[in-house]
C-alpha cells in the first residue's frame, strides 16, 4: 500500500478558534496561525496527508481529503488549498 | 356484560387500571406503602410483552420511565413520600420536555421517613409545587377501588392528551385496604392513545409545535424524525433557546395547556349537594368517612352533602365555588394541616364559613372524629 | 469521507472554549460511528448536564439532554424499552461519577448494552472550575484554593469492579486510538465504558499551571502509556491507556427477553 496522497485540505475559518493544536502537532509543520489566530496551511506542499490535524481539531474545522490510490501523483502546485468561509467571519 | 368481580387491594386496582390503559413499561424502587404495585407489575407486565425494571433509586426510576416514554410506550412509576421527593427534579424535566408519564404516590406520613405504614394526605402541595419553577401539573386521587381503577385509566388518558406527567395521589388506607371491584370489560372505558405525527420522514417535524387543538403530536425515538429533547427552555424543534419570546411563549404554553383546561380535567363526585346546608369537601380515603357522616345525617333529615374531589390539581375553583357556595358551612376533611382547605377558601366569597377537620397522628379519620369536630364548629361542645 | 452529515451545523461554531478536548471527542465519536456505517435513525444519544452534555445538541441523532448525573438512568429506560437502538451516553467526570456515580455503577452491574463515554477533564467547567471526584489530590480548583484533599477514582478500575464488560481509557491526544476504542465499545454487546482524558485549558489547565491546550496534550503524550508497557514498569506514575476489560457476559436486555418468554409461556399454560 502506498502512502496516502492529499487531495484537499479544507479549513473552515469561522469554526476555527485558534487553539493551535493542529499547528503544534503537525508532523510536517504545514500549518500556522495567521494574524487573526486562525489556522492556515502555509506549507501545503509538505503535507503527508496523515489527517491528524483533522482528527485532533476540537472545532471540527479541518477536513483532509485523500486522493484515491490509483491516481497519478499530483504535483504540489496542483494541490488545492481551500479556505471555506461559511457563515461569515465571527470577528 | 359486567366484568369480573374481584376482591383486591387498592394498589392492585391501580395495577389493573394501568394495564387496562395500555401500560407497557414500569420502572420503580421498593417503598412502603406502594411496593405491591411494583411486585404485581413485575409479574404481570412481561406476561403481556411489557417491560419491568427495578432501578437503583427513585431518581433513576423517574428518569427511566421518561426515556421509555420517548420510545413511544405508556409508562408508570410508583412510590411514596420520600421517593416522591427524590423524583421531583425529573418530574420537572417531564413537565418541561412534555413527556407523557404517570407517577403514583401512595402517601404515608411525613416529613422524612415519617410514618411508613400509616395514613396521611400530606403530599398534596408537594404534588403541586414539589419541582422547582413555575409549572402546571395534573394530580388525581380516588377513595375506593372502583374509582382507583377508573382514575388510573384517566391519568394515562390525560398524560397522553396533554403530553404531561400526571400524579396519582393515593394514600395508605386506599392502597392497602381490600375491597370488592368489578373490573371493566375492554372497551367499557375510553382510552387515549399516543398521538403520533403524520409528518413523513424527510419533512421538517416540530416536536414542540402545538396543533390548533393544543395537542402536540410526538415521534418515537428510533423513528424517522431526529430531534432534540432538553430540560432547557427550547424552541419548537427542541433546541435550547434563551430568546425571551421563546422562553415566555413556552412557560405560558406549559401552564396554559393545563390551567385553561381546568374544567375538562376536573373529576369529582357530588353527593346530596343541591339543598345541602353543610357541605363536606374531601378526597381519597378521608372521603369514605365523610360520606358515612353525610349519609347518616341525611337519614336523620339533616341537610348534609359531600363534594368528593378526584382532581386535586389543577384545582377546580369555579366548580367548587359553584357546588358549595350556597352552603351555610363548608367542612374540609383531609389528613393534613389544610392543603385543600386553602384552595376551597379561595373558591368561596365567604371563606370564614370554611372549616378544617383533620387528623395528623397517622390514625385514619373516622366518622366519629368528624362528628365530634362538627359539634365544636356548631358550638355544641364536645 | 465527510463528517458533516452527522452534525447539526447550524449550531456551529460550538460553545466549547478554544482548545477544549470535548470538541475532539465529538470529532472522534462521529468518525467512529461513520466507520461502523450506522444509520442516524438507530442511534440515541443521551447526555447529562455540564460542558460535556452539550455534545448531543451538535449531533443529528435522536438526542436527549437530561439532568445532571442522570443520563444513564434515562438511557436505561430507552434501551430496555427498545433494545434494537444503539444508545451512546457521553458524560462529564462530575456528571458520571459524582452526582451520577450511583447510576454509573448500577448500569455497569446490569451490563446493559450501552456505550458510556466519560469525558474526563478533571474539573467542573460549566460552573467555573470547581474540583471533581477525578481532579485528584494536590490539584487546585476554584473550590480547592489551598489544594485538593479529595482522592480521585480510577474510572477503569471502578467500572470493572462494578461489572462493565468493556472498559477502556484513551486521551484526546491519541485520536486514532480513541476512534478505535469508541468503535469497539459501540460494537460490544454489554455495558461499555471509554474514559477519555480531555483537556480543559480554561480551568483545569490554568488553575494548575499546566499551560494551554497544546501543553496539556503534550502532558497526555508524555504521562500516559499503553497498558502493560515497559515504560509503566519503569515509572509507575504513568497513566495506562488501552482496553482494561473485554469479556462476554449476559447482557441485560437479552436476559429480559428470556424473562418475557418465560412469563408468556406461563401465560399460555395458565390459559390451557
Q: What is the residue whose three cell numbers read 425571551?
A: B244
CA distance A17 to chain C (A): 5
CA–CA–CA angle A37, A39, A44 (5° rounding): 145
Which of B163, B182, B201 is a domain's end point? B182
First CA to last CA distance, chain C: 58
CA distance B145 to chain C (A): 26
C62 and B226 in contact by Cβ < 8 A?
A: yes
Does B28 lie in the same domain as B142? Answer: yes
Does B125 lie in the same domain as B22? Answer: yes
Between CA B159 and CA B182 the distance in angstroms is 25
Does B168 lie in the same domain as B274? Answer: no
Does B276 lie in the same domain as B160? Answer: no
Q: What is the pLDDT of residue A90?
A: 38
Between CA B165 and CA B231 the distance in angstroms is 14
Chains A and B touch (3+ CB pairs under 8 A): no
Pick out chain B residues at pLDDT < 50. Answer: none
pTM of the full predicted structure?
0.96
Does residue B193 lie within any of the structural domains? no
Say if CB C137 and CB C201 are below 8 A apart: no
CA distance B124 to chain C (A): 25
Between CA C180 and CA C31 the distance in angstroms is 9
Instruction: Name every residue in C having a CB less than 8 A away from some CB of B.
Output: 11, 40-42, 44, 46, 56-57, 60-67, 70, 73-82, 84-85, 102-103, 106, 256, 259-260, 262-264, 266-267
Does residue B189 lie within any of the structural domains? no
- Contact partners for chain B, using 3 or more CB pairs closer than 8 A, are C
- How would residue A3 be classed by pLDDT, with cut points 50, 70 and 90? confident
Between CA C22 and CA C178 the distance in angstroms is 12
Does residue B273 lie within any of the structural domains? yes
- How would residue A72 be classed by pLDDT, with cut points 50, 70 and 90? low
Does B49 lie in the same domain as B158? Answer: yes
- Does the CB of A59 have a partner CB in chain C at under 8 Å? yes
- Does the CB of A21 have a partner CB in chain C at under 8 Å? yes
C66 and B231 in contact by Cβ < 8 A?
A: yes
- How would residue A4 be classed by pLDDT, with cut points 50, 70 and 90? confident
What are the phi and psi torsion angles at A11 (to 5°)? -115, 120
C23 and A59 in contact by Cβ < 8 A?
A: yes
Domains, chain C, in order of start with CATH, read 4-271 (3.40.50.970)
Q: How far is CA C67 from CA B124, B230, B301, C101, in A?
A: 25, 9, 58, 14
Between CA B64 and CA C46 the distance in angstroms is 12
pLDDT 10s digit of each residue in chain C, 272 long? 478 999 999 999 999 999 999 999 999 999 999 999 999 999 999 999 999 999 999 999 999 999 999 999 999 999 999 999 999 999 999 999 999 999 999 999 999 999 999 999 999 999 999 999 999 999 999 999 999 999 999 999 999 999 999 999 999 999 999 999 999 999 999 999 999 999 999 999 999 999 999 999 999 999 999 999 999 999 999 999 999 999 999 999 999 999 999 999 987 776 54
A24 and C214 in contact by Cβ < 8 A?
A: yes
Count how many Cα atoms sit within 13 Å of the Cα of residue B333 in the half-sphere of its side chain. 35
Domain range for B352 = 268-377
Does B19 lie in the same domain as B168? Answer: yes
Which of B135, B161, B182 is a domain's end point? B182
Between CA B356 and CA B347 the distance in angstroms is 15
Q: Cell triple for residue C220?
A: 497526555
Assess whether the previous peptide bond of B314 is cis (omega < 30° from 0). yes
Between CA B65 and CA B101 the distance in angstroms is 7
Q: What is the pLDDT of residue A87?
A: 42
Say if CB C135 and CB C203 are below 8 A apart: no
Say if CB B239 and CB C11 are below 8 A apart: yes
Task: Please tell me the total number of residues recorded for chain C in this structure.
Answer: 272
Does residue B326 lie within any of the structural domains? yes
Domains, chain A, in order of start with CATH, read 5-84 (3.30.70.20)
Does B165 lie in the same domain as B34? Answer: yes
Q: Looking at this predicted complex, what is its ipTM?
A: 0.97
C13 and A24 in contact by Cβ < 8 A?
A: no
Does residue B252 lie within any of the structural domains? no
Which of these, C114, C112, C117, C105, lies nearest to C162 by C-alpha position?
C105
- Does the CB of A40 have a partner CB in chain C at under 8 Å? no
- Domain count within chain B: 2
State which residue of chain C sits closest to A65, comparing Cα positions.
C1
Q: Cell triple for residue C80?
A: 430496555
Candidate from B65, B75, B222 with C-beta closest to C41: B222
Does B173 lie in the same domain as B282? Answer: no
- Per residue in A14-59, pLDDT (tens digit) is 999 999 999 999 999 999 999 999 999 999 999 999 999 999 999 9
Residues 6 or more apart in contact with residue C269 via CB below 8 angstroms: none
Q: What is the CATH number of the domain that holds B332?
A: 3.40.50.920
Q: What is the CATH number of the domain that holds B49?
A: 3.40.50.970
Identify all chain B residues contacting C42, using CB atoms and an 8 Å cutoff. Answer: 222
Amino acid at each position: 500500500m502506498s502512502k496516502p496522497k492529499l487531495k484537499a485540505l479544507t479549513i473552515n475559518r469561522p469554526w476555527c478558534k485558534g487553539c493551535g493544536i493542529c499547528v503544534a502537532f503537525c508532523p510536517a509543520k504545514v500549518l500556522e496561525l495567521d494574524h487573526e489566530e486562525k489556522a492556515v496551511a502555509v506549507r501545503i506542499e509538505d503535507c503527508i496527508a496523515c489527517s491528524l490535524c483533522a482528527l485532533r481539531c476540537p472545532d471540527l474545522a479541518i477536513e483532509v481529503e485523500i486522493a484515491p490510490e490509483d491516481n497519478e501523483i499530483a504535483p504540489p502546485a496542483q494541490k488545492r488549498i481551500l479556505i471555506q468561509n461559511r457563515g461569515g467571519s465571527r470577528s | 356484560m359486567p366484568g369480573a368481580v374481584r376482591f383486591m387491594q387498592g394498589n392492585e386496582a391501580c395495577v389493573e387500571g394501568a394495564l387496562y390503559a395500555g401500560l407497557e413499561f414500569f420502572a420503580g424502587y421498593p417503598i412502603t406503602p406502594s411496593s405491591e404495585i411494583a411486585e404485581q407489575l413485575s409479574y404481570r407486565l412481561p406476561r403481556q410483552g411489557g417491560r419491568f425494571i427495578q432501578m437503583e433509586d427513585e431518581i433513576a426510576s423517574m428518569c427511566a420511565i421518561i426515556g421509555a416514554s420517548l420510545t413511544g410506550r405508556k409508562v408508570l412509576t410508583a412510590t411514596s413520600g420520600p421517593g416522591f421527593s427524590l423524583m421531583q427534579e425529573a418530574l420537572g424535566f417531564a413537565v418541561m420536555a412534555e413527556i407523557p408519564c404517570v407517577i403514583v404516590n401512595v402517601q404515608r406520613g411525613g416529613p422524612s421517613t415519617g410514618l411508613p405504614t400509616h395514613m396521611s394526605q400530606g403530599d398534596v402541595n408537594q404534588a403541586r409545587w414539589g419541582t422547582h419553577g413555575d409549572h402546571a401539573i395534573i394530580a388525581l386521587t380516588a377513595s375506593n377501588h372502583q374509582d382507583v381503577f377508573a382514575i388510573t385509566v384517566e391519568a394515562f388518558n390525560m398524560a397522553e392528551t396533554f403530553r404531561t406527567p400526571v400524579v396519582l395521589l393515593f394514600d395508605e388506607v386506599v392502597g392497602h385496604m381490600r375491597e370488592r371491584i368489578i373490573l371493566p370489560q375492554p372497551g367499557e372505558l375510553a382510552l387515549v392513545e399516543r398521538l403520533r405525527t403524520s409528518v413523513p420522514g424527510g419533512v421538517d417535524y416540530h416536536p414542540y409545535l402545538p396543533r390548533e387543538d393544543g395537542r402536540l403530536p410526538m415521534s418515537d425515538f428510533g423513528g424517522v424524525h431526529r430531534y432534540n429533547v432538553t430540560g432547557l427552555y427550547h424552541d419548537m424543534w427542541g433546541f435550547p433557546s434563551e430568546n425571551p419570546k421563546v422562553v415566555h411563549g413556552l412557560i405560558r404554553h406549559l401552564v396554559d395547556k393545563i390551567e385553561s383546561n381546568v374544567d375538562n380535567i376536573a373529576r369529582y363526585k357530588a353527593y346530596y349537594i343541591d339543598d345541602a346546608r353543610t357541605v363536606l369537601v374531601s378526597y381519597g380515603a378521608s372521603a369514605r368517612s365523610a360520606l358515612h357522616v353525610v349519609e347518616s345525617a341525611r337519614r336523620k333529615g339533616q341537610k348534609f352533602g359531600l363534594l368528593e374531589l378526584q382532581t386535586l390539581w389543577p384545582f377546580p375553583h369555579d366548580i367548587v365555588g359553584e357546588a358549595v357556595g350556597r352552603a351555610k358551612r363548608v367542612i374540609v376533611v383531609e389528613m393534613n394541616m389544610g392543603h385543600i382547605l386553602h384552595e376551597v377558601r379561595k373558591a368561596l366569597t365567604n371563606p370564614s364559613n370554611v372549616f378544617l377537620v383533620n387528623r395528623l397522628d397517622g390514625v385514619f379519620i373516622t366518622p366519629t372524629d368528624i362528628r365530634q369536630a362538627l359539634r365544636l364548629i356548631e358550638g355544641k361542645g364536645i | 469521507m465527510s463528517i458533516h452529515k452527522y452534525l447539526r451545523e447550524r449550531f456551529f461554531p460550538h460553545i466549547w472554549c478554544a482548545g477544549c478536548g470535548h470538541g475532539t471527542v465529538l470529532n472522534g465519536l462521529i468518525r467512529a460511528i461513520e466507520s461502523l456505517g450506522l444509520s442516524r435513525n438507530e442511534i440515541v444519544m443521551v447526555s447529562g448536564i455540564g460542558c460535556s452534555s452539550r455534545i448531543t445538541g451538535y449531533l443529528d441523532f435522536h438526542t436527549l439532554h437530561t439532568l445532571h448525573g442522570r443520563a444513564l438512568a434515562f438511557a436505561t429506560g430507552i434501551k430496555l424499552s427498545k433494545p434494537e437502538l444503539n444508545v451512546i451516553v457521553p458524560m462529564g467526570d462530575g456528571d458520571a461519577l459524582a452526582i451520577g456515580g450511583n447510576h454509573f455503577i448500577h448500569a455497569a452491574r446490569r451490563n446493559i448494552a450501552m456505550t458510556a463515554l466519560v469525558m474526563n477533564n478533571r474539573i467542573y467547567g460549566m460552573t467555573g472550575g470547581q474540583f471533581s471526584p477525578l481532579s485528584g489530590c494536590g490539584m487546585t480548583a476554584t473550590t480547592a484554593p489551598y489544594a485538593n484533599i479529595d482522592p480521585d477514582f480510577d474510572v477503569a478500575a471502578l467500572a470493572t469492579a462494578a461489572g462493565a464488560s468493556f472498559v477502556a481509557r484513551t486521551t484526546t491526544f491519541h485520536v486514532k486510538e480513541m476512534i478505535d476504542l469508541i468503535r469497539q465499545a459501540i460494537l460490544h454487546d454489554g455495558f461499555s465504558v471509554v474514559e477519555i482524558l480531555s483537556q480543559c485549558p480554561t480551568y483545569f489547565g490554568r488553575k494548575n499551571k499546566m499551560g494551554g491546550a497544546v501543553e496539556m496534550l503534550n502532558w497526555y503524550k508524555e504521562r500516559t502509556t499503553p497498558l502493560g508497557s515497559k515504560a509503566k514498569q519503569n515509572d509507575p506514575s504513568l497513566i495506562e491507556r488501552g482496553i482494561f476489560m473485554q469479556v462476554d457476559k449476559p447482557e441485560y436486555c437479552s436476559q429480559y427477553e428470556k424473562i418475557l418468554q418465560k412469563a408468556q409461556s406461563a401465560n399460555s399454560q395458565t390459559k390451557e
